[in-house]
Amino acid sequence: MINKISLLIILPLFLIMNAQASTKNEPDFNLVNTCPPSFELINVANKPSVCHLVNLYQFYDSVQNRGVGGLQTSLPENREGFTPQQIDLGRYLFFDPLLSKDGSLSCASCHQPEKGFSDDLDRSIGITGEKVARSAPSLWNVGFLDKFFWDGRAATLEQQAQGPLFSAVEMGNTPDNLLKTLTKNKIYIQMFKEAFPQDKKLSLSQVYRALAAFQTTLISLNSRYDRYAQGYHQALNKKEIAGLNIFRSFVARCAECHQPPLFTNSQIAVIGSPDPKNMPFDIGAQKTYQDLGIDPEKARKLRGGFKVPTLRNIVKTAPYMHSGRYCKLRDAVKFYNDG
């Protein structure tokens, strides 16, 4: 899966970035009309055809058993309803630095496919050249989640997209400038018309929806673990099976928060992960719930709380924790073992 998506970067995006007002020799650019791997095209009466995820976990019905490490556990609902063209447009936007203020950063700058859709930094580097407050979380299987950012402050992928786009220390753009940049680009105008034929003009809501559409197709559900869970026990070796049994046990209790098959429960947890030296204490989800007007006492209980991250492709997403506190997976495991 990673190799396939890595190939997406090797695309002539310069054609899009450099397409200005020229009317001669303008390339004829068309979005794909087929769904990504693991998705099938579903025809809906009197509506555009949309991509529907198909996987073996959909045959399981075990919602009530989540948290105890059951192998054949069903998945939560995933975001759907996107057309192939909207997904393809989101793919181009995701890898295009045109979305940043000065054309230097794309979404993929911090969420790199070959690095588990993270960036192997303790804290990502934004448009100012300085490190931001937290590490870049993996984007695998985000279409199944209902909380986004480490502090859970966004409820949808569309809301999440606006955070880095318009953060002064991340991509540094503004809504007006982003819309102006895109509407000056004739190829993007053509692509948005293909992806949103019912709309009369390009809008920022289309940008957010296209980015969300692409991210919902970042599916990791066919690893060796998945093949083992679905009955092919030769997919894992003896040591891996022993480790999985400990992971699922009531002694280690890893699976209570990192619930298979997503290996997250998308909840906020307060585990006391230490901040790096010389960094101020990060109150995490406490601020999110204060901003929502939650009872101050309840918000206080979430002080230093962060969303449980997925463990999918974990060997590719070091360093670990919201602040990148631990460089090695062994150190992160030791933190939990030490209580």
Domains defined for the chain, CATH in brackets: 2-215 (1.10.760.10), 224-332 (1.10.760.10)
Query: Does pLDDT of 22 surpass 80?
Result: no
Angle CA(47)–CA(52)–CA(55) in degrees, nearest 5? 165
Q: How far apart are alpha carbons 309 and 332 in whole angstroms? A: 13
Residue type for position 176: D
> In this predicted model, what pLDDT tens digit does every residue of 234-276 receive, in sequence order?
999 999 999 999 999 988 889 999 999 999 999 999 999 888 8
The pLDDT score that the predictor gives to residue 250 is 87
Q: How far apart are CA 128 and CA 168, in angstroms?
A: 8
Highest mean pLDDT (candidates 46-55, 63-72, 88-97, 290-299)? 88-97
| Residue 337 pLDDT > 90 | no
Percent above pLDDT 70 for the chain: 89
Q: What separation in angstroms does the CA of 229 have from each of 97, 206, 221, 244, 261?
A: 39, 38, 11, 11, 9
Phi, psi dihedral angles at 221 (to 5 degrees): -140, 25
pLDDT for the residue 9: 44
Q: Residue 330 class from Cβ within 10 Å (0-12 exposed, 13-18 middle, 19+ buried)? A: exposed
pLDDT at 3: 45
Half-sphere exposure of 207 (CA within 13 A, CB side): 24
Confidence of residue 66 (pLDDT cuts 50, 70, 90): low
Residue 193, pLDDT > 70, answer: yes
What pairs with residue 42 in β-bridges?
50
* Model pTM score: 0.90
> What mean pLDDT do residues 120-148 have?
96
- Rounded distance between C-alpha atoms, residue 162 and residue 200, angstroms: 22
Q: Are 206 and 195 in contact (CB under 8 A)?
A: yes
